Homo-oligomer: A and B are copies of this chain.
Amino acid sequence: MADRRFQLYDTTLRDGTQQEGLAPTVEDKLAVARHLDAFGAGFIEGGWPGAIPRDTEFFRRARTELNLRNAELAAFGATRRPGTLVTTDPQVRALLEAETPVVTLVAKGHTRHVELALRTTLAENLAMIGSTVRHLVRAGRRVFVDAEHYFDGYLANREYALEVVRAAAEAGAEAVVLCDTNGGSLPDGIGAVVADTLTATGARLGIHCHDDSGCAVANTLAAVDAGADHVQGTAHGYGERCGNANLFTVAANLVLKRGRTDVVPAERLREMAETGRAIGELTGVHAHPAAPYVGASAFAHKAGLHASALRVDPDLYQHIDPARVGNAMRTLVSDMGGRSSIELKARELGYEVSAGSEPVARAAARVKELEGRGYSFESADASFELLLLEELAGGGLEHPFEVDAWKVGVEERSGGEVRTEGSVRLRIDGTPLAATGTGNGPVNALDRALHQALDPFFPELARLELADYQVRVLGNGSGSAAAARVLITFTDGRRRWGTVGVDGNTVAASWRALLDAVRYVLLTERGADHRAHRRAAVPAVAAAG
C-alpha cells in the first residue's frame, strides 16, 4: 500500500523561475531548496535537467551539497518524443541521470495541444505517457504526472482527459496532477472536474493552479475539498504570467482554516514569514507587502477606527494571531490614523505615552505635515522614532554631531574605472572634522565618509551597515526631474530599521535617510546608560507635555 500522507509539492525552482525578473543562480537554488526543506515541503522540484544547463548543474551539485532532511527532490521533464523508443530518448535519460528519488513528467491532457503543440496522434500521446512512466518506475523512481491543460482539456473532451489520467495511473504514476495551466478556471469548475475525475478513474489526484483569474488559492482548496491530496505551488506564488498558487497561503489556509495538520507541522508554520523573507532575499523578488500571512503589511493597521479598536483587543481586526505564521502586528503611522495610531506605534517602540498628550499631538501634526511633502513613515520606524524623540524633548533633541557640508563626485573616463568620492564636513561639540570616502555609488561613498569621520568617536557605529536601499520617484511620472523618496534599511547584525529621506534631489534624499540612520543608532544604541536614561525620561517628559 502506497504512502497516502498529504503531499505538499513545491515547484518554486522550476515553474516559479518562469516569473518575470526571477533568474536564480545554481547557488541561489540550492539555498532556496534548503529553506523549503526546513519549512516542511514534502517534495522540491529542482528544474528540468537536460533542457536547461543551469538545472542540470543544480542536480549535479544537489547530490553532494543539498542533504535534504524532510523533502524528496524531484526532477521535471517531458514524456518521450512521439514515435521513438523511451530507452534511447536523450531527455528521458537526462531525467534518470539527475539521480533524484522522484521524477515528475509533464503530459498533454488536452486533445488540441496534442495535435497542435506535440503534433502527434491522441493514441501516441497515451502511449508516450505509459511507456515513459513505466520506464522510470522500473528504474526505481517515484513518478508523478502533471496533466497539462487538464481542466480546459476536460471541457473540450472529457473522455480523452480521463484516458490521460488512466494511462498515467495504470503505468504506475503515484499521483496524477491536474493542471490549470492557463489559470483561467474558477473554484466551482475545478471542484466539479476533480470530483468527477476521482470517481471515473480512482487515481490519486494532485492539483496545480495558476492565478490568471485571481483564484489560484481558492481553486487549490476546491480541489482538495473534492479529494485531491497532492498540492503544487511556489513560494510567494512566483510563476509565469500571474504566477502559480502561493504555497505559503495554501499551506496556512489548509492548516489553520481546514485543520489539515498533516500539510506542514504547526511549529514549521511559525517560521513561514521568515522562510518567505529568506527566499525573497535569495531570489531578489520579495513577497508583495500585501501578501496573505507573510507580507510586511499582512497585519499592518492604519485606519483610526481600527487603531482605536485594536487598543481594546488586537483580535478585533485580525483573522489569526500573526505569531502562528511568524509575522507580527504593525501599526502604520500616517495622517489617517491620528493620535491613536501614534500612541499605538509609540507603545510598540517602548514609549509610555498617551494619545491625549501634547507631544503625541505635535508628533501627529508633524507626521501629517511631512507626509504631505512626500515622506512616508510606514516603513521608516527609525525616522519616526527620531521624530517622536524630538517632540518628547520639546523640540530640543541634541544630536552628538552637526553637519556643515557634504559632497560627492562620480567620474568615468573611457577605458578607465568609475571613481566615486564622498566628503563630509561635521562638527562634534563645536570642533570641525572632515573626512572622505570612496565607494561604488554616492550613498556608499557618503556612508564611508561618515564612518571615517565618526567611528573613532562613536565605536558603536562600526556595527551599522546598510542592508537595503530603495528610491521612489514621487509626483506625476516626470521621472528624474521629480522629487525622490529614499528608504534605507540598516542593521546592526541583529535587528533591522528603516529611515526615510525626501528631497527634490535624489542624492540629497539618500543623504537625509543616511543621516537619520546614523543619528538613530547614536541616540538609541549608545550603551545601557544612555538607553536607561532615555527610557526613564520618556514617561516624565510625556506626562509633562
Contacts and interface: CB of A to CB of B under 8 A. Distances in A.
Contacts of A182: 317-319
A506 B422 CA distance: 14
Interface stretch (A32-40, A79-87, A157-165, A436-444): A436-444
Interface in A263-315: 281, 284, 288-293, 295-304, 306, 308-309, 312-313
B442 A410 contact: yes
A336 interface: yes
Nearest to A211: B292
B20 A507 contact: no
Interface in A413-466: 413-414, 418, 420, 439-444, 447, 465-466
Q: Which of A182, A297, A404 has the most CB of B within 10 A?
A: A297
Within the oligomer, what is the number of copies of this chain? 2
Interface in A382-419: 402-414, 418
Contacts of A404: 413-414
Interface stretch (A66-74, A241-249, A518-526): A241-249
A468 interface: yes
A243 B297 CA distance: 9
Interface stretch (A56-64, A183-191, A347-355): A183-191
Given A19-B297, A184-B319, 7 more contacts: A20-B332, A20-B379, A237-B290, A410-B507, A444-B481, A468-B473, A470-B471
Interface of A: 17-21, 23, 51-52, 54, 112-113, 116-117, 181-184, 186-188, 211-215, 217-219, 221-222, 225, 237, 239-243, 246, 249-250, 253, 257, 281, 284, 288-293, 295-304, 306, 308-309, 312-313, 316-320, 332, 334-336, 371, 376, 378-379, 402-414, 418, 420, 439-444, 447, 465-474, 476-481, 483-484, 489-490, 503-508, 511
